[in-house]
Structure 1
């Protein structure tokens, strides 16, 4: 295309005011920039659109012929700009979340988001931290909500909210009678744990520094509910996010075990690709997540 919308705007403003200075002011350009734009348009097509009468620029016959076509094109361009703005408000949003966050936090956030923005198209994928990070890196997801810390140069990792892991067992388990556990207790137990690559397992491994090689990890499962059922059945003790255990603790089907000398504090994070455009939908999602804390 050999002309620009800005050149057409200058042409139309000049046709309206018949004065380049006033035309430039009306579209927030300097007089020299407007003059150059008009001269460039005429030079590109070897035409003259105005008769110059003193300081006035009066449309000539060719200018009068082309003016309605230019008006129509500019109007369509404004309509397209408005359409872009409307779709920019929300649009489609692809969210990824780790299992604990996805099953216990993200679904409720998504329901509230869709209530506030009924026109939004939101999808939620639930997987472990490594899988979500890979999908963000490959531009398959717009934003991720993860439990584990990540150090990837292509990702922005933004702290969201605090969390705590809890060690737990069935009420019938021998350790349920103890007021707190020491390292010998931790080494004596059979553990039912999340798989490697999950944020929960990463935080657990850090908390158990010094003991990890000697721990008896008897079973690794990919789903928190499966771990809870296995612990309820007396197969061992577990360690999961506190948000996944609240209902079980209230019912008494599981018992929290105190391990005061080990640090089970951690954070949840937002992750986004540094090079991906941050849409209005992503910003609104972040605002809603922050307000839910």
Structure 2
């Protein structure tokens, strides 16, 4: 065999960071050693795997072809090592989840996972749909749990659960006293919404097709709690997942706005890279996801 696992490890670290220095730091080796490992790999097979632009290294076509195979090989090598060591430890699993899914589903699922596998290394990255998709595509996450849709050809996207967005306002807002609102009411309101790139915003824009250019969007916030507080102060009206509003609706702190002319139903999705090696740990997590498919959050 003309290549080593260390060479592939260096190659993958550079592919993820786009920088030799950061890759070397990530692998706790000197920059010269990392540079030599990549050079040896390229020289042995007479290929170039990256396009150089100053200090940035970008995967070229050959590098992109090699990457998924190298990712799978390194993952399988890690599992083989554990098997040879007769280790009962579960390999690390890196999950990404959007804000609503993390707060109302994924954190409870992590607790259940650790209850079944107490020593299992697991991490949960919380971000919006756009960034979770990017990290799964870049092999930084083993899988993602997202609220928005993604049609990237390199991703396996599986519908997971049904969800419902709700429009809501303060009890003092004029819309609170209306049994039903229509498009005129929606256009007259001031809106406080999630940021562009979030699944909630993506679904809101879909539901409000034809109205968005004329809507008065006065605030865009990344945090659901900040949106709820702003709406409680009657700054405007909002739109969030029903899961995140149940307590406020029950207490009467916020009021549901009924808008039957618009469809606010949506799906939650599980995403993995099509070339990603499904480790034993990831299989266990995906089994848990399947069990939670119909469990109330």
Q: TM-score, normalised by structure 2?
A: 0.70
Tell me the alpha carbon deviations over residues 44-70 of structure 1, each in whole angstroms, 9 at most, x when there is no partner. xxxxxxxxxxxxxxxxxxxxxxxxxxx
**Which residue number in structure 1 is paired with residue 202 of structure 2?**
202
**Structure 2 CA distance for aligned equivalents of residues 213 and 119 of structure 1:** 51
In structure 2, the residue matched to 1:134 is 134
Write out aligned runs for 1:1-293 (5 A). 82-83=83-84, 86=87, 90-292=90-292, 293=294
**1:212 Cα deviation from its structure 2 partner:** 1.0
Measured on the aligned residues, the alpha-carbon RMSD in Å equals 1.7
Counterpart contact for 1:90–1:279, Cα < 8 Å: no
Matched length: 215
Gaps of 5+ in 1: 2-78
5+ residue gaps in structure 2?
2-79
Deviations for 1:74-114, whole angstroms, at most 9, x for unmatched residues? xxxxx968447755x73101000001111121111101110
Cα distance, 1:81–1:181 mapped onto 2, change above 3 Å:
closer
CA gap 1:285/1:196 in 2 versus in 1, 3 angstroms: same
Larger Rg: 1
Q: Secondary structure at the match of 1:219?
A: strand
Question: Which residue in the other structure is 1:25 paired with?
Answer: none
CA deviation vs aligned residue, 1:198-229 (integer Å, no higher than 9, x gap): 00000000000111111111110011010000
Q: Structure 2 CA distance, aligned partners of 1:216 and 1:257?
A: 17
4+ residue runs of structure 1 moved beyond 3 angstroms? Answer: 79-87
What TM-score results when the alignment is normalised by the length of structure 1? 0.71
Find the aligned partners of 1:184 and 1:156 in 2 and give their Cα distance: 40
Match of 2:180, SS state, is coil
Do the aligned partners of residues 262 and 114 (structure 1) sit closer, same or farther apart at CA in structure 2, a change above 3 Å counting?
same
Distance 2:246 2:109 in 1: 18
Shift of 1:192: 0.3
Q: Distance in 1 between matches of 2:100 and 2:90?
A: 26
In structure 2, distance between residues paired with 1:82 and 1:154: 30
Q: CA deviation at 1:179?
A: 0.5
C-alpha spacing 1:114/1:184, structure 2 compared with 1 (3 Å): same
Change (3 A) 1:80 1:283: closer
Determine the structure 2 residue equivalent to 1:53. none
Q: How many Å separate the matches in 2 of 1:143 and 1:239?
A: 27
- Report the Cα distance in structure 2 between the residues aligned to 1:80 and 1:240, rounded to whole angstroms: 45
Q: Aligned partners of 2:261 and 2:208: how far apart in 1? A: 10
- SS of the equivalent of 2:238 reads strand
